[in-house]
Amino acid sequence: MASTYTNQAAILGEIQYSDLIALTDDAPSTGDINQVVLNQVIQNASGYIDRKLANIYGQQLPFVTVPLSVANMAVTIACYRLYRRREVPDEKNKFYEEFKDISDFLNKVNKGEMHIDDVPARDFPQGALQSQPTLYGNQVFSGGRMVNSM
């Protein structure tokens, strides 16, 4: 199994147990969380992050010690993808806006314009890295999550 940046417990912090069952339990229904489906969604979310960070953090991936910001992003991406697999349109997916913000942020990281908290980036001087909130557009990110819109 590939390295993952989140787990079922973290996802249950965002999605109710009964909803997680509904999002993963395929026909024939078992009435419980389908672990195979959930694990695949988690792996896909982690892989998405690795692909976006590969340009800057390539040899450090997958992270052995997962930065909190990466773990938080993985939860949001997995939750977004769980709803997408049930074909919930983006405008009705409560994780879409945050997913879009994370995706934009990761694209900036891939270009070397932003960085992940607490992870030394290739070709960045150590003093340029900080674990303070990051401003992106009119939004403030801390720990990989949007914490404020300006």
- So what's the pLDDT on residue 24? 96
- So what's the pLDDT on residue 29? 87
Q: Which residue has the higher pLDDT, 133 or 39?
A: 39
Tokens of 133: 């909130």
**What's the whole-number average pLDDT of the chain?**
83
- Residue 62's nearest CA partner among 73, 72, 51 is 51
Determine the Cα angle at 14 with ends 33 and 132, to 5°.
140
What residue segments make up the domains of the chain, in order of their start?
8-118+128-149
Alpha-carbon distances of 60 from 37, 57, 121, 144, rounded to whole Å: 27, 5, 9, 18
Backbone angles phi and psi of 83, in degrees to 5? -70, -35
Alpha-carbon distances of 31 from 5, 11, 18, 78, 108, rounded to whole Å: 26, 18, 9, 21, 41
85 — pLDDT class (breaks 50, 70, 90): very high
> Do residues 66 and 4 lie in contact, with contact meaning Cβ atoms separated by under 8 Å?
no
Cα–Cα distance measured from residue 50 to residue 33, given in angstroms and rounded to the nearest whole number: 26
